[in-house]
Amino acid sequence: MNKAGVAIYPGSFDPVTNGHLDIIQRGSRIFSKVIVAVLKNERKDPFFSAAERAEMLALAIKPFDNVEVARFDGLLVNFAKEKKAGVVIRGLRAVTDFDYEFQLALMNRRLEREVETIFLMPSSEYTYLSSSQVKEVVALGGSVEGLVPDFVEQKILEKLKKNGNKKKQRDS
């Protein structure tokens, strides 16, 4: 199949899950280049810093030779233009995603007509998977095997330990 041009796959990726990787794989089959764009915005109070999130993504996308990771802040459409990407990829899991995604896509279209949003559907096994759920399950001692790359589960555990130590220091 002849591949289309450059696409941006933006998100918080806090942290990357196998659902995100499923979308990345699908995107990499359609587009000649996929740029996974990590939102730097610290106002969202992420669990992992933008650098940590990008680092985990960089490891996870190693199997794909036409995928790269970048960090961005400001308007997504400006970043897309800067990277000469005509398409924004978003994953659509279930109908619950629809309203938010519709708003995002229409606002981006209003801001920049040249940038088109397309939606890709992950495998059904990832329909109800989210980064927040993964963090909660790990924090409560459950297994997330098969839902995130193994090293991501390890990173969450390390971060929880670090945060716990910081809290202990503050409380003492």
Catalytic positions are 20, 44, 93, 131
C-alpha dihedral sign at 143, 145, 146, 149: positive
Count other Cβ atoms within 10 Å, centred on residue 57: 26
* 8, 39, 50, 61: which one binds ligand PNS (CB under 6 A): 39
118 within 8 A of 87, measured Cβ to Cβ: yes
Of 10 and 19, which has the nearer Cβ to ligand PNS? 10
Which amino acid, 3? K
**Spatial separation of the C-alpha atoms in residues 98 and 104, rounded to whole Å:** 10
* 75, 94, 106, 157: which one binds ligand PNS (CB under 6 A): 75
* 7, 8, 9, 10: which one binds ligand PNS (CB under 6 A): 10
84-123: contacts with ligand PNS (CB under 6 A): 104, 107-108
Please report whether residue 25 would count as binding ligand PNS according to CB under 6 A: no
Q: Is the link from the previous residue into 15 a cis peptide, with omega within 30 of 0? A: yes
> What is the contact surface with ligand PNS in residues (CB under 6 A)?
10-12, 39, 75-76, 104, 107-108
